[in-house]
Amino acid sequence: MKLSKQSMCLYVVTDRSWLGGRTLAEQVEETLKGGATFIQLREKELDYDSFFKEATEIKALCKSYNVPFVINDNVDIAIACDADGVHVGQSDMEAGNVRMKLGKDKIIGVSAQTVEQAILAEKQGADYIGIGAVFSTSTKADADMVSLETLKEICNCVSIPIVAIGGINAQNILELSGTGIDGVAVISAVFAQPDICLATKELLSLSKEMVSCGYINKEK
C-alpha cells in the first residue's frame, strides 16, 4: 500500500490494556469506523501463533477500510501476515536492514527523538518517522521527551511524513499546531475511552484542524 501524508492524520497504536472483555480486533474496528487513518499493531507479550492470528485478522479489517496496517518491531510477523509494513524503534533493526528483508514496496516507520536520528532514518529508507514523546505518557513511562522546538526542527530537516506520539489527547493536541507534523499517533486517547468510535471521530477532527496549521513553513 502506498503511503500518503493524509494517512498520518490519525495514527492509532493498539494496546490491550483496556480490552474489558472485548477482542482487540473489535476495538480496532471501532477506531476504523471512527476514521482512523493508520493502524499499528503493537504486541510485546503474545506468542508467535497468537500474534500471527491476531495480525492476520486485523490486517483484513484494515484492508476492508483501505487503511495502512503495520506491525511494531516484529519483522517476521509482518512478512508472515503480509502486513503493509513495520515500525521500528532506535533499539530495533535499522531501517536499511528492514528494507532488505521486507522489500521495496513495504512501509517502514522509524521512531526518533533527535534531528540526527530522523535524518539518518530518512537516509536509510524510512517512509515516515514517529517523533516522541511530545507529552508525558503512561503508556511508555521510559520514553524520552521531545520539545516542540525539536519537533519543528525535525520537520524542517526531513522530507518524509512525520507523526508525533506520546501523551496526545483531545485536550492537548492543538498545542502541536504549527509544528509541521502530518498527524498524531494515539493509544489511550482512543482505547481507554468509553466510546472508542466517538473518541476517534473527535480526535480525527482535531488532528485535521491541527495539521491545517502546520504547513506554513514546511516544504515537502
What does 187-201 look like in DSSP terms, one character per residue?
SHHHHTSS-HHHHHH
Residue for cell digits 486485523?
Answer: 58
Whole-angstrom distance, CA of residue 35 vs CA of residue 109:
21
Asked if residue 143 is part of any domain, the answer here is: yes
Asked if residue 218 is part of any domain, the answer here is: no
- Which active-site residues does the annotation give? 42, 111, 140
* Three cell numbers written together for 133: 514523546
What number of CA atoms fall less than 13 Å from residue 217's CA on the CB side?
10
Task: State phi, psi for 187 to the nearest 5 degrees.
Answer: -130, -80
Residue-level pLDDT at 216: 44
What letter represents residue 19's amino acid? L
CATH of the domain at 167: 3.20.20.70
CB 153 within 8 A of CB 115: yes
Asked if residue 220 is part of any domain, the answer here is: no
Residue pLDDT, tens place only, 54-63: 999 999 999 9
Please name which of 49, 53, 100, 51 lies closest in space to residue 72, comparing C-alpha atoms.
Answer: 51
Residue 164 Cα distances to 36, 47, 98, 170, angstroms: 15, 29, 22, 14
Residue-level pLDDT at 140: 63
Please name which of 7, 2, 10, 16 lies closest in space to residue 164, comparing C-alpha atoms.
Answer: 10
Asked if residue 79 is part of any domain, the answer here is: yes
The domain of 152 spans 5-212
Residue-level pLDDT at 217: 43
Task: State phi, psi for 37 to the nearest 5 degrees.
Answer: -105, -5
* Three cell numbers written together for 101: 528483508
Residue-level pLDDT at 142: 60
Asked if residue 18 is part of any domain, the answer here is: yes
Whole-structure pTM value: 0.94
Residue for cell digits 524520552?
Answer: 144
Q: Is 136 exposed, middle or buried (0-12, 13-18, 19+ CB in 10 A)?
A: exposed
The parts of the chain modelled with pLDDT lower than 50 are 216-220
Asked if residue 82 is part of any domain, the answer here is: yes
Asked if residue 217 is part of any domain, the answer here is: no
Residue 51 Cα distances to 32, 46, 59, 78, 85, angstroms: 20, 6, 12, 10, 15
Asked if residue 91 is part of any domain, the answer here is: yes
Total domain count, the chain: 1
